[in-house]
Amino acid sequence: MIVAIMTPIMVEHEFVEHAKVAHYGRFQAAIERYIRENNSWDTEKDALRFAIAEENNRKLHRTPRNSPHMRPQGQADAPYFSGLPPPRRRPGSKASEELPFAFVLTDTQGHILHAGKDYKIGQKLTEEELSGADSLWVKGRLVAYALSSGEPDLSTADLAYLHTLRETLLFSALGAIVFIIPFGIWEGSRLVRTLNHLTSAVNRMAEGEFKQQVPVKSEDEVGALAKAFNLMNTQLHEAYKNLEDSRNKIAKQAEQLKELSIRDELTGLYNRRFFNEEVKVLHANALRYGNGFCLVLGDIDFFKRINDGYSHVVGDEVLKQVAKILMNSIRNSDIVARYGGEEMVLALPNTSPQAAMEMMERIRKTIEQHPWDSIAEGMKVTMSFGICDETNGEHFEHMLAVADELLYKAKNNGRNQVCSLSCSQTH
């Protein structure tokens, strides 16, 4: 559309420039001839003589162009302006109408030599009016100024050419639009679809769905963007997966380290440090809410004889089996730990003395009836327990001390028995 608009304007501008060149050339030729014949220029007298000659030339060319009386161009006795073309009107204009495209010619002093629209011969132009004029030179000498005004007096052929040019460019522009609009819609739709895929994929990634791929349907910049996104997403997904695997591995190792830090390596029971930390809380809750709470201290009978008589390997296996029996016999809320050597300790929250006695009796019998000869032929293993249910002390260590005294009493009473504060049941 820009080409369709600008081209006719530029062509018409070229017509004007060519018209100027043609007219200015004839002006220069007339002035040069005058200077050569009169050996004078730039005086008021010269201006008057040149203007009279130009006026005579104008009267001469009022004769119709096809008249046989028209003076031929280049005739010897022709005036200085005989080389200028006769005035020409636009098609359809009247003879009385002024020429739309006119020239004003002045000498270097500003005296009008050839009058155009709104100007008269003999009038002198101001310096401001001459500032926009074109300079005419003859053999390197400034001889005159020329001003043009109006539209070019184009011929019928010129006007037809411009009309054809405008129509051709207009139809070309319309044809380009008809082609470009569907192509632009198609290309824009393809671009929007790809961008929508990218936007949707990014939004899903923001929601946590890291594995995303978008279709690549072109090799242009948008296709390159889609490929780059797919590659980036694949790398990001792999990195995230590796990070998740590392995190899970670290979490698992941390859990294992935690278990190792709170478990006894041989038996798998909690260690003494963990047991003390947990029992502090259980004891404080029992004091605060008045719930039943019992601590049990147990010891394998004649464990030194087992180590000495069957070896420490067998002794270790006995400890493992006893630990397994204890863990399988308690509730989820209970805690059992290896307190040292062959000594085990149990914390029984929300448990009455009678319930604790029944539980420990059941465990004692299970240990006694376990097939120990499968580990070492003829071997028998029993265990003694002391139960303390006194929660009145400020610290749980008091309960442990009482349980240790009751365990000692069970040992003195013949071992393989459970002794509570009442010691009502012994075996």
- Checking if the pLDDT of 71 tops 60, the result is no
Average confidence score pLDDT of the chain: 82
- Checking if the pLDDT of 98 tops 70, the result is no
The per-residue b/e assignment along 109-136, b for 16 or more CB within 10 angstroms, e otherwise, is: ebbbbbbbeebebeeebeeeebeebeeb
- Checking if the pLDDT of 66 tops 80, the result is no
Which residues share a beta bridge with 142? 137
Using the Cα atoms of residue 240, residue 246, residue 250 and residue 255 in order, give the sign of their dihedral: positive
Burial classification of residue 156, based on how many CB atoms lie within 10 Å of its CB (0-12 exposed, 13-18 middle, 19 or more buried): exposed
Residue positions annotated with a catalytic role: 342
- Checking if the pLDDT of 316 tops 90, the result is yes
**pLDDT for position 151:** 64
Report d(CA 376, CA 370) in Å as an integer. Answer: 12
Q: What is the mean pLDDT of residues 50-60?
A: 74
Report d(CA 41, CA 39) in Å as an integer. Answer: 7
**pLDDT for position 377:** 92
Which residues share a beta bridge with 145? 106, 135
Segment 352-377, tens digit of pLDDT: 999 999 999 999 999 999 999 999 99
Query: What are the two backbone dihedrals, phi and then psi, of residue 424, each rounded to the nearest 5 degrees?
Result: -80, -20
**pLDDT for position 101:** 64
**pLDDT for position 73:** 40
In 10 A of CB 250, how many CB atoms? 10
- Checking if the pLDDT of 84 tops 60, the result is no
Tokens 């028998």 belong to residue: 380
- Strands of the 101-107 sheet, one edge to the other: 112-114, 101-107, 141-150, 134-138
% of the chain beyond a pLDDT of 70: 86
% of the chain beyond a pLDDT of 90: 33
For residues 230 and 381, which has the higher predicted lDDT (pLDDT)?
381
Q: What is the mean pLDDT of residues 116-130?
A: 78
Would you say the pTM of this structure is higher than 0.85? Answer: no
41-45, 246-250, 278-282: which is most confident: 278-282
- Of the listed ranges 23-32, 43-52, 83-92, 252-261, the least confidently predicted one is 83-92
Report d(CA 394, CA 103) in Å as an integer. Answer: 124
Report d(CA 358, CA 356) in Å as an integer. Answer: 5
Q: What is the mean pLDDT of residues 153-167?
A: 76
The terminus-to-terminus CA distance of the chain in angstroms comes to 114
**pLDDT for position 82:** 42
User: What count of residues does the chain have?
Assistant: 427
- Checking if the pLDDT of 97 tops 80, the result is no
Report d(CA 52, CA 38) in Å as an integer. Answer: 15
For residues 228 and 16, which has the higher predicted lDDT (pLDDT)?
228
Q: What is the mean pLDDT of residues 276-280?
A: 93
**pLDDT for position 364:** 96
5-19, 56-70, 231-245: which is most confident: 231-245
- Checking if the pLDDT of 78 tops 70, the result is no
- Checking if the pLDDT of 421 tops 90, the result is no
Report d(CA 398, CA 423) in Å as an integer. Answer: 18
- Checking if the pLDDT of 344 tops 90, the result is yes
Domains along the sequence of the chain with CATH: 2-154 (no CATH), 155-262 (1.10.287), 272-419 (3.30.70.270)
pLDDT band at 72 (very low <50, low <70, confident <90, very high): very low
Which residues, at least 6 apart from 28, have a Cβ–Cβ distance to it below 8 Å?
Answer: 136, 137, 138, 143, 144
**pLDDT for position 63:** 47
Q: What is the mean pLDDT of residues 210-228?
A: 81
In 10 A of CB 234, how many CB atoms? 13
Segment 235-275, tens digit of pLDDT: 888 888 888 888 888 888 887 777 778 899 999 999 999 99
Which residues share a beta bridge with 75? none
Amino acid present at 305: R
Report d(CA 142, CA 137) in Å as an integer. Answer: 5
Report d(CA 111, CA 125) in Å as an integer. Answer: 7
**pLDDT for position 406:** 95
- Of the listed ranges 139-143, 170-174, 315-319, the least confidently predicted one is 170-174
DSSP class of residue 296? Answer: E
The per-residue b/e assignment along 352-366, b for 16 or more CB within 10 angstroms, e otherwise, is: ebeebbebbeebbee
**pLDDT for position 330:** 94
- Checking if the pLDDT of 231 tops 60, the result is yes
- Residue 316 corresponds to which tokens in the numbers above? 């270790």
**pLDDT for position 401:** 93
